[in-house]
Amino acid sequence: MKAGLVYDPIYLEHDTGDHVENSRRLVDAMSYLKETGIKEKLISLPARPALLQELEMIHAPEYISYVKSKAENGGGWLDPDTVMSPRSYEASLYAAGGVLVAVEAVMNGKVDDAFALVRPPGHHATHDRAMGFCIFNNVAIAARFALSKFNLNRVLIADFDVHHGNGTQDAFYADPEVLYFSTHQYPFYPGTGWMDETGTGEGEGTTVNFPMAAGWDDDEYLRAFNEVLVPVARRFQPQLILVSAGFDPHWADHLAMMKVTIAGFAQMATILKGLAAELCQGRLVFTLEGGYNLRVVASSIKATFDVLLGNSNMEDPLGKASVARKSEGFDEHIEAIKRTHRVS
């Protein structure tokens, strides 16, 4: 199995200081991949900067110019959560471009699947606004790129970050060519993503939100994937699967209140890999979104690569949360989502 790794040192030049979304997320992850021997088994895919016309498939030209000028003037805050340094614009170009490189490699058969370890993350960024640590919407740009360059007409984006990808949803809310599926803690930042947000116009039904109550764990996530994502994906028949991989639903991540484990992330990756093999010739691309416990992020990325490489001896160094909880109301919740999307 050929799994691709996209990484570039420019991602470390997006200097956010002591912000939770900082360069150590990638430094520690890359070190761990090397220490565990996984990195040498991967095919390195050098990143490139996204072109202006590629960014403009999702973002307003005026917004792109604003981000560039902000960096040229030394950086600063784009919104209360999102900060830039002098090289953040360049890093953001390479973040978006890195996911495009992964898509190209998968579509051209250079690799079977790939994981783009990029930053800044992207799924909150809207047409004309930075949000939630995100500057350009990497996965949305990649979806538009795949549709246009490779003459596709059905792309699935699966997003398991603990925060709803409002920017990704907005980009494709009226677009029947992109199926957006999201699991996320609700109510939580950014306040979007209830189950009745299903798309509009020709895109009606191609937005599938699975809001999660605080405290739900692997069991609920895997049921959401198996009982909702799998059937809607089979109905949609994607030609490529993109994944916004946020590891902040983990029980040890201090920014949220979910109870997912590293083994749970690996099981979600296994389901996605199986869907890609069944539906779209194995075409599968992960891109990094959130996750702020450094050990969790590094271990979860390694576990994801284990799945992509077909390694069966995946380890979970942190195990399950020590505090038990009850999953009250889940059965009724998932049945309501199934009814919304006509899933039996």
Catalytic residue numbers read 124
Query: Which residues have CB under 8 Å from 134's CB, separation 6+?
Result: 82, 120, 121, 122, 123, 124, 125, 167
Residues 6 or more apart from 190 whose CB is under 8 A from it? 124, 131, 132, 163, 164, 166
Residues 126 and 165: their CA atoms lie apart, in Å, by: 10
User: What is the distance between the alpha carbons of residues 55 and 138, in angstroms, rounded to a whole number?
Assistant: 9
CB-based contact 1:310 (threshold 8 Å): yes
**Closest by CA position to 165, among listed 79, 328, 290, 71:** 290
Q: Which DSSP state fits 76?
A: E
For residue 282, give the DSSP letter: T
Rounded to whole angstroms, the Cα distance separating 102 from 234 reads: 23
Which residue, chain included where needed, has tokens 């949609």? 236
Q: Tokens in use for 263?
A: 């083994």
Q: Which of 124, 100, 92 is nearest to 248 (CA)?
A: 124
How far, CA to CA in Å, does 56 sit from each of 82, 127, 250, 282?
A: 21, 9, 34, 28
